[in-house]
Amino acid sequence: MEKIAKKVNEEIQRGWLGPNLSCPYHPAHFTGQDCSFCYCPFFPCNDKTFGWELQGRHGPVWNCSDCLFIHRTPVVKFIYSEIERLGIKDAKDPRFDDIFRDAKAKFWKKGKALMVVGATSDAGKSVTVAAICRILHNKGYLVAPFKSQNMSLNSKVTRAGAEIAMIQVLQAKAAGIKNPDAHMNPILLKPKGDTVSQVMVCGKPFADYDVDGYYNEFVPGPGIGIVKEHVEFLKDRYDCVVMEGAGSPAEINIYDRDIANMGAANIADANVILVVNVEWGGSFAYAIGTVELIPENDRKRIKGIILNNVRGDTKKLLPGAEELERLTGIPVIGIIPHADVVLPSEDSEALRGVRKKGEGKSLIGVIKFPRMANFTDLDPLFLEDVSTVFVEKVEDLKGVDAIVMPGTKNTVSDYLWMQEKGLDKEIKKLWKKIPIVGICGGYQMMGKVLDDSNGIEAGKKAVYEGLGFFDNTTTFGEYAKQIIQNEGKLAVGNGGEITGYELHMGISEVREKQPLVLLDRFHADPLPEGSVREEDLTFGTYQHGIFDKPAFRKYFLSFVKHNGEPVNTEGAEDYEAILEENLQKLADVFAENMDVEKLIEIAGVKE
C-alpha cells in the first residue's frame, strides 16, 4: 500500500498525461487507454463492479486487473480537476473516497449487449462480430466479444493460462484488446468423439458430457449461471458486449435449453442482428424461416438483418431486401459484399473437401488427422511461396517436399489411424530425405514411445511404439493437461523471436540434446523446448502458433527444396500484422455497406 501511495503521489504531481504510447503497459487493456494513472488513486476501492477479492498467501488481496474505469480520459480529467479543486496533495487523503463515489456516479454505467445470430451455420457470424467490434472500437467505444458456448478444436491460451476459442481471440483483437480472457468464451466444447465433448469452463477442464447429459444436466444446472456471470462481468467493464450465437437460433428441438443464441440474448438483455449468407441458395427463405420459427417474445429482440457475402453487384439485392423487410417487419441494415480477407477459419468445416492450397512449386504435405486440432497453426504457411496438400492416404504423399504433422485432440487414436492407413510406414521411408515437423500431438508421435497405460487417449490400456524420430517418451496421465502461453526465441539457425502456446495431454520425457526453442521464464534461465535433428531434417515442438512469427517459417522452409530449388521467404511477414491489416479491411467493407448509425442505435450505445 505504501508503494502504491508513493506512486500515486508522483502521478498527482506530474498531472494529466493522457494516452501514452511509450508506456510499456499502454496496450494492456485497449488501444488508446489513458495512462495518467498506472497506479489507481482509489486502490483498493472494494467495489465489486470493478474487481474482486483473492486469497493471497498473506491474506485477502484486492484484484482489479480487469478494471478499465481509471484508464478513460473523461474519468481521469475529472479526477485531476477534483484534486486541483480540493487541493489534494496526498494519495492517503480520505476525500479520494468522495471523488471515487462522484466519478462512478457521473461516468460509470452498465454496458449494453448486442447479439449476432445466423440463419444457418457458416452465415458469417464470426466475421460480422469482428467487423462490428472494430467499427465500434474505431468510434471510441470500449467493446468486448462474447460467445457463451463455442464448439471448436481451434483454441488459444490467454495470458492467464485459460483456454478459449481462437475466434474469440481474433474478435478481441478486432476490439483493440491485446489480452483477451476467458470471460469472452466461458464455455468451450472440445469434441472427443461423435457424441462426447470435453466441456471447458472459464478456460479450464470441467467434465465430459454426451449430448443428452449436456442439455439435460449441464445447461439447466451450472450452464445458465455461467453465461450470466460472465456476460455481466463484461457489461460492467465495457460499453458494448458483442455476442456471437452458435449454429441456428431456431433449433426448435432444444429451444427451451438454449444458452447459445436467443437464450443467451435473454440472459444478457441483448438486441439481436440476424446474419444471412447470400452465397448459399435460398438465403431469403432461411431468413424468413428463422424469424418465423423463433417465438414472438424472442422475435421482438431482432432489430436488424444483414445480407452477407454477396458476390457481384449488391444493388441487385435491394428488391429482395425490401421484400424481406416487408415480410418480417425487420430492417435490412446492411448488404455486405464478399470480403477478400486473410483471416483464420473458425472450425474444420473450412477444410472439408479441400485437398490442396497454394500455388508454390514446393509441396508440403499436412497429415489430416481425423481429430486434427488447432489447424490454424498452418494459416501462416498458406501465405508463403509453397503449395499444401492435405494427406489422408499414402498416395497423397507422392511428390511432397516436406511433411507437417499437426496437433490432434487425441494423439494415440490418430496415431492408430495413421498406422491403419499405412501412413506411418510411408513417412518413415521419407524420414531423413525431406523435412518433417511435428507440432504438439504430431511431435509426440515422432518420439519412441506413446505410453497410454492408463487408457486415457484410446480407451485401452497400452504402450505404443512411436515413429522413433526422436529419443522421447510421452506418458498420458489422468487428465494432466498443459495450458501455457509462451514467448521465446529459436535455439537454432539465426535465432529470432517466437510466440506460441501449449495445449496438450501427456508429458514428454525429452532426451534429445538440441532443443528447437528457448522459452522465456520470469527471473529464470530460458527453458529449452522441442527437439531438432538438422542432419535428419527432423523438427518437433509443443508450441502451437510456431509459424506465426517469420523466424521459424524462414528456418523450416530453408530446408524445403523442390528439385533442389529453395523456397523464397524474402517477403515473410509477422502473421499478427497481417491479421491486423485484414481486420481493418474487413471492418471497412462492412462500414461502407451498412447503416452504421442504425447499428449504433441497435447496440444501444448511442448517447
Q: Which residues are catalytically annotated? A: 440, 544
Give, rounded to a whole angstrom, the gap between the first and last alpha carbons of the chain: 38
DSSP one-letter code for 498: E
Q: What is the strand order of the sheet 507-510 is part of?
A: 462-465, 449-452, 472-475, 507-510
C-alpha distances (whole Å) from 285 to each of 114, 125, 133, 180 are 24, 18, 28, 37
Whole-angstrom distance, CA of residue 265 vs CA of residue 302 = 10
DSSP state of 595: -
Closest CA to 125 of 260, 318, 298, 258: 260
DSSP at 408: B
Instruction: Please give the grid coordinates belonging to residue 142.
Output: 470500449
What is the C-alpha separation between 479 and 208, in angstroms, rounded? 11
Phi then psi for 188, rounded to 5 degrees?
Answer: -120, 125
Distance CA 373, CA 501 (A): 13
CA–CA distance, 255 with 144 (Å, rounded to integer): 26
| CA separation, residue 202 to residues 148, 305, 350, 470 (Å) | 10, 31, 26, 35
Cα(450)–Cα(453) distance, integer angstroms: 9
> Which residues pair with residue 533 across a beta bridge?
538
CA distance 547 to 381: 7
Q: Whole-angstrom Cα distance, residue 307 to residue 361?
A: 38
Which residues, including other chains, have CB under 8 Å from residue 361's CB and lie 6 or more apart?
Answer: 385, 386, 387, 562, 563, 565
Taking Cα atoms as reference points, which of 75, 61, 3, 64 lies closest to residue 28?
64
590 close to 128: Cβ distance less than 8 angstroms: yes
Task: Report DSSP letters for 417-468, one per residue.
Answer: HHHHHTHHHHHHHHTTTS-EEEETHHHHHTSSEEEETT-TTTSS-EEEE---
Angle at 298 between CA 195 and CA 595, to 5 degrees: 105
Question: 496 with 489: CB under 8 angstroms?
Answer: yes
Q: 196 with 208: CB under 8 angstroms?
A: yes
CA 541 to chain centre: 21
Give dist(CA 219, CA 264) in Å, integer. 12
Task: Give me 471's grid cell.
Answer: 529419443
Strands of 23-65, DSSP E: 52-56, 59-63
Longest dimension (CA), the chain: 80
Distance of CA 209 to the CA centre of its chain: 23
